Chain A
């Protein structure tokens, strides 16, 4: 079964350092329903002419190379050209592979429900028809040849189903499988940080006990007698607690990420490269998450004064929504996404190391490691809840007898 064109099916012209999987490339293409695009090195995507492309309404595509720089142009009539984008492919060899291509992500109909997730899908086939193909500069002599180029984890039809024909200046290329970053891989950063939840429970217990222990021993009366401005007492507690848990979290995460990635690498797992900016965000963000969660524990502990109830409330509002949203088949995808927008569990978005790519077809759901909010926006949700709880705690602490 080969279903028809997908929204991100693509056909066009490509320059690639080599036909090896992962080699640098830049391409101009027409797509199923996203018009003309220029894409390079898997994650970059720039829109060109819009509109659906058909035999009646064709597009002209051009790639020019100058050193490491490749510029893409498109045109509706072959006379008036518009520059779409410029890609710099560092270290591009002087001899490269260039040609026509057709590729398509597989089709998929996903349905997630409470009883379990299910999806039906499979590889699809895209066919591109090219005419008036022209070349300038130094090219080898001879005709175009067809080749099936595939990656290791490609959702593609067998080579026999794909093809290349040439008849009187008109070339037809059929291809299956996508030219795209691999999105099916587990997020190794998130895997190495699974222990955050254990750390989280510990810091919440510490945060709650930081105030409930004072109530239990009656120390709170001494504390409040020593500093009668109660808001200050709570603020001081929050600062000390936040600073200590942040420092502890920072040390733990800074050790566990390189160690975990090293172990995963040793065992032959593919590790996606992590930019310095992303690594800093994940490390500092996870430490900040622990610190803010501890302060939330302090605030709820002040409000409830009972350790068991306060610990449960904080753990349930942070961990349970995550659990319900991330374990596939517990909640419908819509309800899970909603939980990860409004509940403090949104903060775990800070650990997402791979952004979703709009031009790459994949299941961007919480259970595959993609959060509905951007990293810092998700973290802000937790901060907002904590600020609210802390403000309430100050209000209650001022009005209530200790």
Chain B
């Protein structure tokens, strides 16, 4: 508990953490609103997934969350603070666990705010752009089971991205390299799979991709066409996060700080 308290103090007093978390929430909601606002529904209807549209901002918000998570550990390496931290708490896995607890708690709160704002804005804007009962759409609300799952899942998605980034940062230490690795693993999979024409390889890459598979949690329509169910998709990201945390913990344990 002391370790968690110490980490919380560090995160809270770091200049920029608050601004970054605020930016993550604001950018997520803003991109979602812009996406919802750009929808057009020509006569025949608008084949789209209202929940997924409203939550498009997560694509950007995750990058900001990754900065916070990476800085939590890489920042200590760049200032040498890590030596002090490890001297104070010699059980190194405990340090990483405390950091994970603090970062995921902060991300869960930020994510909840961002997702609530996105769903609210999306519901309002999509209704104005023709996603009405006349086109067979219900108003977007958290009262619907799939929408609630998409919303809660998106918050969990952000928390898992934070843990994934923390694990990578613990493993590679330098912040620029760590954030580069995290963003590469998130953004490269969908780009490379879009260049692959073989349907089976395309499908396999999508199933492996932390971002593409993880974001299946936002799908509320055409679930049958996805290569994985929404929760399985989030599970893929959870495996990536667990793998990164494990690698980070092992390297932290056996390496000189």
Tell whether, in the assembled complex, residue A312 and residue B66 are in contact, meaning their CB atoms are under 8 Å apart.
Answer: yes
Identify which of B46-54, B94-102, B108-116 touches chain A: B46-54
Since A209-B177, A327-B194 are in contact, a sample of 17 more A-B pairs with Cβ atoms closer than 8 Å, ordered by chain A residue number, is: A113-B41, A113-B46, A113-B47, A116-B222, A191-B197, A208-B176, A209-B176, A212-B176, A308-B71, A308-B74, A311-B183, A312-B64, A320-B60, A320-B63, A323-B187, A323-B191, A324-B59
**A168-204 with Cβ < 8 A to chain B:** 186, 190-191, 194, 197-198, 201-202, 204
| A-B contacts, 20 listed (Cβ < 8 Å) | A113-B47, A114-B53, A115-B52, A115-B221, A116-B222, A118-B47, A197-B187, A205-B180, A306-B175, A307-B74, A308-B74, A309-B67, A311-B179, A311-B180, A320-B187, A323-B187, A324-B59, A332-B39, A335-B35, A367-B194
Question: Does B44 reach chain A (CB closer than 8 Å)?
Answer: yes
Question: Does B133 reach chain A (CB closer than 8 Å)?
Answer: no
Question: Does A319 reach chain B (CB closer than 8 Å)?
Answer: yes
Tell whether, in the assembled complex, residue B222 and residue A115 are in contact, meaning their CB atoms are under 8 Å apart.
Answer: yes
- Residues in chain B near residue A222, CB distance under 8 A: none
Question: Does A111 reach chain B (CB closer than 8 Å)?
Answer: yes
- Residues in chain B near residue A309, CB distance under 8 A: 20, 67
Whether A319 contacts B194 in the complex (CB less than 8 A), given A307-B175, A332-B39, comes out as no
Whether A319 contacts B71 in the complex (CB less than 8 A), given A111-B44, A308-B179, A312-B63, comes out as no
Separation of A209 and B132 alpha carbons in the complex (Å):
50
Whether A308 contacts B47 in the complex (CB less than 8 A), given A201-B183, A326-B191, A334-B38, comes out as no
Question: Does A316 reach chain B (CB closer than 8 Å)?
Answer: yes
- Residues in chain A near residue B188, CB distance under 8 A: 197-198, 201
Shortest 8 CB-CB contacts between residues of A and residues of B = A115-B48, A307-B176, A194-B195, A205-B180, A115-B49, A308-B175, A113-B48, A114-B53
Separation of A209 and B78 alpha carbons in the complex (Å):
12
Tell whether, in the assembled complex, residue A202 and residue B187 are in contact, meaning their CB atoms are under 8 Å apart.
Answer: no
Chain A interface residues (CB < 8 Å from chain B): 111, 113-116, 118, 186, 190-191, 194, 197-198, 201-202, 204-205, 208-209, 212, 216, 306-312, 315-316, 319-320, 322-324, 326-327, 330-332, 334-335, 367
Question: Does B7 reach chain A (CB closer than 8 Å)?
Answer: no
- Residues in chain A near residue B197, CB distance under 8 A: 186, 191
Separation of A194 and B197 alpha carbons in the complex (Å):
12
Whether A335 contacts B180 in the complex (CB less than 8 A), given A115-B48, A309-B67, comes out as no
- Residues in chain B near residue A320, CB distance under 8 A: 59-60, 63, 187
Separation of A114 and B174 alpha carbons in the complex (Å):
37
Whether A115 contacts B67 in the complex (CB less than 8 A), given A197-B188, A201-B180, comes out as no
Separation of A201 and B44 alpha carbons in the complex (Å):
41
Chain B interface residues (CB < 8 Å from chain A): 16, 20, 34-35, 38-42, 44, 46-49, 52-53, 56, 59-60, 63-64, 66-67, 70-71, 74, 78, 174-180, 183-184, 187-188, 190-192, 194-197, 221-222
Separation of A316 and B24 alpha carbons in the complex (Å):
13
- Residues in chain B near residue A198, CB distance under 8 A: 184, 188
Tell whether, in the assembled complex, residue B179 and residue A113 are in contact, meaning their CB atoms are under 8 Å apart.
Answer: no
- A-B pair count, CB < 8 Å, reads 128
Query: How far is the CB of A134 from the nearest CB of chain B, in Å?
Result: 48
Q: Per DSSP, are chain A's interface residues mostly helix, strand or loop, or mixed? A: helix
Tell whether, in the assembled complex, residue B56 and residue A308 are in contact, meaning their CB atoms are under 8 Å apart.
Answer: no
Interface hub of B56, B175, B184 (most chain A Cβ within 10 A) = B175
Separation of A208 and B49 alpha carbons in the complex (Å):
38
Separation of A38 and B34 alpha carbons in the complex (Å):
45
Tell whether, in the assembled complex, residue A202 and residue B180 are in contact, meaning their CB atoms are under 8 Å apart.
Answer: yes
Separation of A115 and B20 alpha carbons in the complex (Å):
30
Tell whether, in the assembled complex, residue A319 and residue B191 are in contact, meaning their CB atoms are under 8 Å apart.
Answer: yes
- Residues in chain B near residue A114, CB distance under 8 A: 35, 39, 48-49, 52-53, 56
Query: How far is the CB of B170 from the nearest CB of chain A, in Å?
Result: 14
- Residues in chain B near residue A331, CB distance under 8 A: 35, 38, 56
- Residues in chain B near residue A335, CB distance under 8 A: 34-35, 38
Query: How far is the CB of B240 from the nearest CB of chain A, in Å?
Result: 17
Tell whether, in the assembled complex, residue B184 and residue A312 are in contact, meaning their CB atoms are under 8 Å apart.
Answer: no
Tell whether, in the assembled complex, residue A190 and residue B195 are in contact, meaning their CB atoms are under 8 Å apart.
Answer: yes
